[in-house]
Amino acid sequence: MTGTCPRDISQNEDMADPAETAILTIDLGALAANYQQLRDLAAPADCAAVVKADAYGLGMVRAAPALSNAGCKTFFVATLGEAQDLRALLPDAVIYVFNGLLPDTAEAFRASNLRPVLNSAEEVQEWAAYCTRVGDKLACAVHIDSGMNRLGLSTAEVNALASAADVWSAFTLSLVMSHLACADDPSHVKNAKQRASFDTLRTKLPDAPTSLANSAGILLGPDFTFDLVRPGIALYGGHPQRRGKNPFKSVVTLKGRILRIRDAEAGETVGYGATRTLRRPTRVAVISVGYADGIFRALSTKDDEDGLVVHLGARAAPILGRVSMDLIAVDVTDIPQDLSARGEWVEFLGPNVSAHDFAVHAGTIDYEVLTNLGRRARRLYIGG
H or E element at residue 23: strand 22-27
Domain locations along the chain: 28-236, 252-353
Q: Which amino acid does the sequence have at 152?
A: G
Rounded Cα–Cα distance for residues 245 and 213 (Å): 20
pLDDT digits (tens, 9 = 90+) for 24-42: 999 999 999 999 999 999 9
Distances (CA, A) of 373 to 58, 132, 370, 376: 8, 44, 6, 9
Which helix (DSSP H) or strand (DSSP E) does residue 190 occupy? helix 189-202
Question: How many C-alpha atoms does 273 have within 13 Å on its Cβ side?
Answer: 12
CA distances from 80 to 86, 144, 205 (A): 10, 20, 25
Q: What is the pLDDT of residue 20?
A: 86
Superfamily for 252-353?
A: Lyase, Ornithine Decarboxylase; Chain A, domain 1 (2.40.37.10)
Return the CATH architecture of domain 28-236. Alpha-Beta Barrel (3.20)
Q: What CA–CA distance (Å, rounded) separates 234 from 93?
A: 21
Could you read off the pLDDT of 192-222 as tens digits, one per residue? 999 999 999 999 999 999 999 999 999 999 9
pLDDT (0 to 100) of residue 13: 53
Residues carrying an active site annotation: 52, 272
**Contact call for residues 138 and 129 (beta carbons, < 8 A):** no
User: Do the domains spanning 28-236 and 252-353 agree at the CATH topology level?
Assistant: no
> Is this structure's pTM higher than 0.85?
yes
